Structure 1
């Protein structure tokens, strides 16, 4: 059986993006074959498209770390043909051909059934970004209640940040989104943020170990000095979750003092190897309690050919909101 897929080729030291025809027989071994209906664009996908060896070691390769579709073949009793399923994380789209193709074949452990209250399209509106935001909010909510104070979300209109704003606002939290410019402010307010601040607020270089207590909780999506600033400005007993490093992997000006003098808790978020039981729990929350009415605000839908321009927009910092890809096959 033939299908279409985005394929990244390495030729003479350059990486070329093409749409090619492939066969099911070309796919790696696995328990479940899935006809992908929707996928989404994540930063890892953009990096894979330009040959980043930290994401994808071997080429040619099909990116796409998310997928939502219909099972067509199954070697396991866990799934049967016709089941609608979701995949995020593990090795999908990194070194295993991913959702930028109309078909994938994967191990059964990577797959969960679509929650009843979530369509395949909605699942990819969330995707890895929404799932990561869900994990962040889940951990924050264990110790921080709406009455405890304001919640700060860095990258407030990005993939993870926008969903975190949605979830927290839906659950009654007073959310402040970190933005960059008037256009992002409008989107942040549409997502549910009660207030916004420019990203310079999270770039303190004073060297102070402790800053003014401002945030009962923080969902950090960028790392680096913004994360350091968030930790130093968290209120007593505050919770800071962290899931990204686009601003760097170091924590300048950070010390142990926020943790031992204010009892601040720093929680790392990993969406790749998250156990299946917890994965299913988060998706259930996303499909029910956390699901909002303005789900497609800030969402752009493209077809397979439209992926290439959006990859360039993401890599050049021009992408606002989130892109999902609809396959015709």
Structure 2
């Protein structure tokens, strides 16, 4: 095999990873929100920088193996060769430079893409409280006074501030087309800020194995114009069903492949009660004493679930 044939073989092998992934939806490389666009840029930049080392190493490995094969009597034979300053400089300086560049870029983008960092926008964000259940997603809109199961909607070009917790098992909230994933954990609150720059319906799911119903733990994230969002809110409010401290334990019971569900009204302390159910000696939400309060910010409210009397409680931080 001559050098020309080797070059031809390398070109063909370069397409192999793409052919292997041809059946996959490359959602991360086709983002529909600014966070996703920035993450795509970081992925491509880091990959290209690393290929500066990877590609020459692969090429030289094949070339050296061919050139210094046992049957090639024309190759220089140096049994006592042991050191080359030029080679040492290349194999150390170039990787060090690339690592320094990658480190700088990673440091900068880590802060810029911090999921807790609010997005820069002149548009007022909307707030969505997210609870991962076994095995479905509950979305509470405190400003609109509604709640939904397995369906999320928001206006396009509007930042969405997510506050995320879990009823029980740890899950991972992820909308690949829009950007970062972040974990949901019982008794703890995480935050995520996303924005959609294109109208559409995007797949969302849990990226963390959490039990037998995990594979069906999916939802739709709908980005629409302002009027479309208002119409969607009106549609949800038209539903007479209410989600409160009495009806929540029924919803929280484990179930699989749940359909989309709308609640026209929701208890204003429900999310805080779920969040604080394991704090201050509280027990599981289904029929035991729980406390609504705070995970990172002030809150007033306390509750006992499943029809038990609610008592006001105030926490001062």
Larger Rg: 2
TM range (shorter): under 0.3
TM-score by length of 2: 0.21
- Structure 1 or 2: larger strand share? 1
TM-score, length-scaled by structure 1:
0.20
Q: Of the two structures, which has the highest relative contact order with CA contacts closer than 8 Å and spacing of 6 or more?
A: 1
